[in-house]
Structure 1
Amino acid sequence: MSHRQLAEDIIKHIGTEKNVHSLVHCATRLRFTLNDRSKADKAAIEKLNGVVTVMESGGQFQVVIGNTVPEVYREIGEFTNLLEDSTSSSARSSEESTSLFGKFVDIVSGIFTPLLGVMAGAGILKGLLGICINAKWLSPEDTSYQILFAASDSLFYFLPLLLAFTSARKFKANPFVAVTIAGALIYPTIQELTKGGGDVSFFGIPVVLMSYTSTVIPIILAVFVMGYIERFFNKVIHESVKNFITPLILLVTVVPLTLIVFGPFGVYAGNGIAAVLLKVFSFSPTLAGALIAMAWQVLVIFGIHWGLVPVILNNIAVHGKDHIKPATAPAVFSQAGASIGVMLKTKNKKLKSLAGSTAVSAVFGITEPAVYGVTLRLKKPFIAAVISAGVGGAIIGYSQSIAIASGLPSLLTLPIFYGQGFTGFLIGISVSFVLSIVLTYLIGFKDPVDEEDAPAASSAPASENEHGVKAAHVKSPLSGEVIKLEEVQDKAFSSGALGKGAAIIPSEGKLFAPVTGVVTTVFPTGHAYGLTSESGAEVLIHIGLDTVQLGGRHFTPKVEQGQTVTEGELLAEFDIEAIQAAGLSVTTPVIITNSGEFSDIIETEEKQVTPGQSFLHLV
């Protein structure tokens, strides 16, 4: 049975989508919270080809599937709204355990990921056009140049429109209303009011206007707030009129709110930061250069770097030079370096290609694809780039480098920095570029390794079978008491349907790698781990029974998915007393999920084991 057919049959026999209050999954099973248990046909579901068994525990209707549960879960999401509407306690707990920075990164990645390809393409085209201008192959007056420049610049000019659409998908809001709101922000009349410089008000409320073209944060905040307003009014307005009354309310509330609140936030925040940086610059050029370089890309992400732009332009106009702009250049080159570091380090073919193309775009001055598509998404490369930028910025600040004209820092605009401190400027951007590559490569990141790129089993001796697996020993991952798998108080494990193995009642809350190989699964709640050994054995370790209900509490993962580990390496720590205090068992099954590929699996005869001791022998 296909994953799609199994998913459809489960939803059918569970009483249809309307009977499901929430749905999450763990390492082996779908966990439903039902509105009416009597509508679910347990016997029919148990007979489905692909279902191991059905259990009811902790108020959940649990359909045990095994290793393919993620695929079935995703298929359910394709034809229902259950994955979007899931509100189970375990899902909420998992969300609560995520750091604020992690949530922010997830949101930003979700919003920008659909735009990465066109962002990289537009950035490269801009760079090529810059080369053509500098080489005198084209001039800004040529219509050919103007047409191609429009193609390269339109994405960035109309960025709020595109972000409105992707933000609406992320925040579950109406995308067409969101795009309409974004369109109002860059509407010609609003742009003219911005240029006019006169007083603007909305029914007596002062409006501080700014240019919203190419901005990021204002529209994301607008759509975020819009989602809450939309859901509220959709609940209270009658079905017959809500399809046009709710959009009306959104347009007359969110557009003014954005112009009155979100725009001024960007202006005032930027101006305040500019004032602080100028004071630091007068105190210590070296420190100021480091701070500006480190902060610049963060300011760009929030769209509040514009507060520095008028200061830079004024310095060039009045004094013929500016010290702030050179310090922003290392931020650009360090992001390019971090992308190259990712390209060299990753084993994921798609990420390698994306990192390479975004690095090219970044050295041409367009860092958005690199930041939103690679470095910020992977977190550690972004931090490496910020540190590297600080080092380069300190060198540039110490050299008191200047800019004599405006323009994006890039390889193509190096001439605008020619003059005082130019040698220090070149050294600064070079150091930030190279150091970012090195730091990214050394520090590493969670690599989403392609399945086909995962380390393969080593060359097999004569004992290798037709499945490409070899005889092997699986060591004990825990200290504790050994019990037979059939004694485990969970039918999914005790029946052997998920594979053969044994279980341990741990005496210490530390889990160690039982084999040398690749970590194929780290469940988000930290209670289950899958590994594929060098011999081809697939090992599943499930700490405790029903512990997914804890939502990650009392578990501390020490490894990441895709990571290569050696036998005996610490995989996780967990609090035995806290888990037991929550009324849950800490009995930990250790399963060979591809048991069928071995002639036999022999369990240890020891009653007590310690980490590293022989536990299972795979024949």
Structure 2
Amino acid sequence: MNFEELSNQIIEKVGGAENVKKVTHCSTRLRFQLNDVSKIDKEGLKQIPEVPGVKDQKGGIQVIIGQQVDDVYEMITKTYTFGENTTNTNQKQERGKNPFIRFMNLLADCFVPLIPVLIAAGLTSAVSTLISTFGWLDTEGTTYQIIDLLADAPLYFIPFIIAHSAAKRIGVKNPYMTMAVIATLVYLNVSGIAGEETYLSFFGLPLRVATYTSSIVPALLCVFAQKYIELGIHKITPKAISTFLEPLLTYLLLSMIMLIILGPIAAYISDGLAWVLQATVNSNKWLVCGVLGALMVPLISTGLHYSLMPVLIANFMVLGYDTFWAGPSFASNMALAGAVLGYAFVSKKQDMKEVCITTGTTALLGITEPAIYSVAFVNRKVLYSCCIAGGLGGLLSGWLGVNSYGMAPAGLTSIPVLAGPTFVNGIITIVISIILGFVISVVLNKAGEKNVQ
């Protein structure tokens, strides 16, 4: 693959370097923030052989590359310098969207940057679980305890990570002020000032003592409040003393609002979310997992799976492990791999066989976009096979009670995150999902063999 040529083609099709405000990437996609989305040549992007597909996003576009995304991103940032000039076009388009969709996009944008951290912590947690399960190290020794600390620390202090990510996404003046206020909440827990008390008194006002470590709602509420507090304080602060008075007032006022009002509200929201999870997800696990397994590919293709991350993290915070996401994720990804490889088995066109074998193999490793856009969205029978097999595999995972003890892309290399009491059940789910995907794909494609390329 010629990364320089590919980079030039992509930049040309998104409207040129002058149209790009910012480019970032996840595990498989380039994410462009653009000045004018009307300049995007989607059909031109889809015609590039190395681009399996594209996906609209707020104010830009996602270009799906696959496992070489790091190399393409590095070439783009090395070759081009992007400006920060913006137009009102994207803002008007965003305001015109459904409020729920806007909120889902906002959550996704806040949580996407966290994915590498969560993957690292999840796989480290899997290593810690394997060590304790097989007795590779003395669990009372400091070596094991430090490994366990490495696994727990990112989730324990996730309010700081969320605060910085959300502050940058929403556009507060100083993201570090957000982190400082969140530090106030967390320090209330760490310092032990409350002891066994449920409420403290602050100038006669009741202050509920809540758990702010390992929580995400307080950070999000803090950022929303800061956005408006900064604007108000900036308007009333005299210019001559604004350098020191503005940050002081912002910090004190935002801290008081969080400690007395929004912090306790966030705690109630978290408690309510935990109750909802227990009453719906965890008590009807087989149904939830079956639905997720069937719909995972559409969720991934639209990017809505990122919007469910707050629920997933909340589940980890409440229980210490995942009860509803990993099972259907493994089921769907393995069903997709099986369905794509099944299509390779019956396809009579050599180049399609090669595409199916390549993308099916990457799907087995947890990288699904190439298989989704290059095969499943091209041949609907493959897509149907994946959804049917993924739904059945997800239902099985829920019925067997498959849990995950870490976060990572659902692929064969990430199986250690399943290490625990339900590990065997997880392996059963994976094997059956692959077989179901393969068999259903072969049957459906054989039934329409005249249409098989």
TM-score normalised by L of structure 1: 0.41
Shift of 1:159: 1.4
Question: Within 5 A, what are the aligned runs for 1:159-170?
Answer: 159-170=158-169
User: Within 1, Cα distance between the matches of 2:253 and 2:335?
Assistant: 45
Compare relative contact order (CA 8 Å, sep 6+) and give the higher one, 1 or 2. Answer: 2
Return closer, same or farther for 1:25/1:336 CA change in 2, 3 Å cut-off.
Answer: closer
Partner residue, 1:223: 223
Q: Structure 1 178/24 Cα, relative in aligned 2: closer, same or farther at 3 Å?
A: same
- Give matches, 1:246-395, under 5 Å: 246-272=246-272, 287=284, 290=287, 298=308, 300-301=310-311, 305=315, 309=319, 329-338=323-332, 356=365, 391-392=395-396, 395=399
Offset, 1:234: 2.5
Structure 1: runs of 5 or more not aligned: 9-22, 30-74, 313-324, 360-382, 418-424, 443-619
**Contact 1:391 1:428 (8 Å CA) reproduced:** no
Is residue 155 of structure 1 aligned with residue 154 of structure 2? yes
User: Offset of 1:434 from its aligned partner?
Assistant: 3.1
Amino acid at match of 1:146: Q
Deviation of the 1:218 alpha carbon: 1.5
* Partner SS, residue 185 of structure 1: helix
For residues 195 and 101 of structure 1, do their structure 2 counterparts lie closer, same or farther at Cα, with a shift above 3 Å needed?
Answer: farther
Out of 407, 413, 420, the position equivalent to 1:413 is 420
Shift in Å, 1:172: 1.4
Amino acid at match of 1:139: D
User: For the residues of structure 2 that align with 1:212 and 1:194, how far apart are their CA atoms?
Assistant: 13
* Structure with the bigger percentage of strand: 1
2:39 paired residue among 27, 31, 44:
27
| In 2: Cα distance, 1:354 partner to 1:182 partner | 39
Per-residue deviation, 1:427: 8.1
Equivalent position amino acid for 2:399 in 1: I
Matches within 5 A, 1:166-565: 166-173=165-172, 174-187=174-187, 192-193=192-193, 196-272=196-272, 287=284, 290=287, 298=308, 300-301=310-311, 305=315, 309=319, 329-338=323-332, 356=365, 391-392=395-396, 395=399, 411-414=418-421, 426=425, 430=429, 434=433
Give the match for residue 116 of structure 2. 117
CA 1:287/1:182 → structure 2, altered by over 3 Å: closer, same or farther? closer
1:160-217 superposed Cα distances (whole Å, 9 cap, x missing partner): 1122222221111212211211211211655525662342233333333322222222
Deviation at residue 223 of structure 1 after TM alignment: 1.3
Report the CA distance shift for 1:280/1:118 in structure 2 as closer, same or farther (over 3 A): closer
User: Which whole-Å CA distance do the structure 2 matches of 1:261 and 1:307 have between them?
Assistant: 22
Give, in angstroms, the shift of residue 413 of structure 1: 1.7
Tell me: CA distance 1:386–1:252, structure 2 relative to 1, closer, same or farther (3 Å).
farther
Secondary structure class of the residue paired with 1:111: helix
1:94 is displaced (CA, Å) by 0.8
Instruction: State the SS of the aligned residue for 1:241.
Output: helix
- Say if 1:343 and 1:356, in contact at 8 Å, map to a contact too: no
Equivalent residue of 1:192, what SS? coil
Offset of residue 152 of structure 1: 2.8
> Which residue type is aligned with residue 203 of structure 2?
F
**In structure 2, the residue corresponding to 1:196 is in which secondary structure?**
coil
Is the 1:202–1:256 contact (alpha carbons within 8 Å) kept by the matching residues of 2?
no
Q: Which has the larger radius of gyration?
A: 1
Equivalent positions of 1:53-92 (< 5 A) are 78-80=82-84, 82-83=85-86, 86=87, 88=88, 90-92=89-91
Match of 1:224, SS? Answer: helix
Q: Secondary structure of 2:199's match?
A: coil
Separation in 1, partners of 2:138, 2:330 = 28
Q: Which amino acid aligns with 1:107?
A: L
Amino acid in the other structure paired with 1:260: I
Q: 1:339 to 1:263 in 2, by over 3 A?
A: farther
Letter in 1 for 2:199: D
> Cα distance, 1:95 vs. partner?
0.7
| Matched letter for residue 228 of structure 2 | Y
Q: Distance in 2 between matches of 1:336 and 1:125?
A: 19
Structure 1, residues 490-527: CA drift from partner, whole Å, max 9, x if none? xxxxxxxxxxxxxxxxxxxxxxxxxxxxxxxxxxxxxx
- The Cα offsets for residues 8-49 of structure 1, whole Å up to 9 and x where unpaired, read as 9xxxxxxxxxxxxxx6463289xxxxxxxxxxxxxxxxxxxx
Cα distance in structure 1, aligned partners of 2:195 and 2:389? 36
CA–CA distance in 2 between the matches of 1:386 and 1:164? Answer: 35
Task: Quickly say closer, same or farther: Cα 1:432–1:304, change in 2 above 3 A.
Answer: farther
Unaligned 5+ segments in structure 2 are 1-10, 20-34, 42-78, 293-306, 341-354, 369-386, 408-416, 442-453
Matches of 1:97 and 1:432, distance apart in 2: 45
SS of the residue 1:211 aligns to: coil
Name the structure 1 match of 2:75: none
Partner of 1:612: none
Contact 2:208 2:260 in 1 (8 A): yes
Inter-partner Cα distance in structure 1 for 2:246 and 2:390: 43
Counterparts of 2:216 and 2:121 in 1: how far apart (Å)? 17
2:392, 2:243 → 1: CA distance? Answer: 51
Q: Distance in 2 between matches of 1:337 and 1:250?
A: 48
**1:223-280 deviation digits (Å, cap 9, x = unpaired):** 1221222133234434443333222222222223233344434443454466677778
Q: Distance in 1 between matches of 2:134 and 2:177?
A: 45
Aligned residue for 2:329, secondary structure, equals helix
TM-score, normalised to structure 2, is 0.53
Aligned residue pair count: 319
Residue 131 (structure 2) pairs with residue 141 (structure 1): no
CA distance in 1 between counterparts of 2:259 and 2:179 reads 15
